[in-house]
Amino acid sequence: MELIVLDHPLVTHKLTHLRDRETDSPTFRALVEELVTLLAYEATREVRVEPSTVQTPVAPYHGVQISKPRPLVVPILRAGLGMLEGMTRLMPNAEVGFVGMVRDEETLEPFTYAERLPKDLSGRQCYVLDPMLATGGSLGGCVNFLVDRGADHITCICLLAAPEGIEKFRRLVEDLKVPCTLVLAAVDEKLNENGYIVPGLGDAGDRLYGLAE
């Protein structure tokens, strides 16, 4: 697994405002979209392209375009949905699938309650969106789900991660034999006894949408 943690003052600035408990939901959503666009710029560095020739007003130009099959963006519901706009703004021709996963608050283990994905992902690059990498179970479970359907290159984009979550995720994906990259805005201190990231930013889903889980 390749780990990329962005070191950029704009990312840190926006993340600081995102953490503030006084930040309201509309501002929180806007900040998430802006952060994801910055993260996506780095996360798509290995996106597959193929040659493409266009005619400029002066002469032909031999450039590239995104290859087919198109990349698949997969937000993990519900909080990952708040990251979708920032990702598709940068890569509007990507396809979008959905996976609904929740964490059992007693066992801290994830389970899938919904999915809308192609049955065959052979040859597809997938970009998984989940704001928080806490225990690592949900993200790892989603990656396994995609690999089982044939995905051969997976990049996960998260705003925050705990060290414990990174290590568990690394263990979950190390035997998959599929290239996996984890792109983060920051790595926080630890998980608390309830499995929440410290200092973190609270429950991302509640802060995005203002509803209790």
**Mind spelling out the 3-state secondary structure of the chain?**
CEEEECCCHHHHHHHHHHHCCCCCHHHHHHHHHHHHHHHHHHHCCCCCEEEEEEECCCCEEEEEEECCCCCEEEEEECHHHHHHHHHHHHCCCCEECEEEEEECCCCCCEEEEEEECCCCCCCCEEEEECCEECCCHHHHHHHHHHHHCCCCEEEEEEEEECHHHHHHHHHHHCCCCCCEEEEEEEECCEECCCCCEECCCCCHHHHHHCCCC
203 marked ligand binding residue: yes
- 44 tagged catalytic: no
213 residues of the chain, pLDDT tens digit each: 899 999 999 999 999 999 999 999 999 999 999 999 999 999 999 999 999 999 999 999 999 999 999 999 999 988 899 999 999 999 998 999 988 877 666 665 667 777 888 899 998 999 999 999 998 888 988 898 899 999 999 999 999 999 999 999 998 888 888 999 999 999 999 999 888 899 999 888 888 887 654
**Annotated catalytic residue: which of 103, 112, 149, 170?**
103
- 188 tagged catalytic: no
171 marked ligand binding residue: no
**Annotated catalytic residue: which of 12, 16, 53, 107?**
107
202 marked ligand binding residue: yes
pTM of the model: 0.90
67 marked ligand binding residue: no
- 20 tagged catalytic: no
- 24 tagged catalytic: no
Looking at residue 213, what is its pLDDT? 43
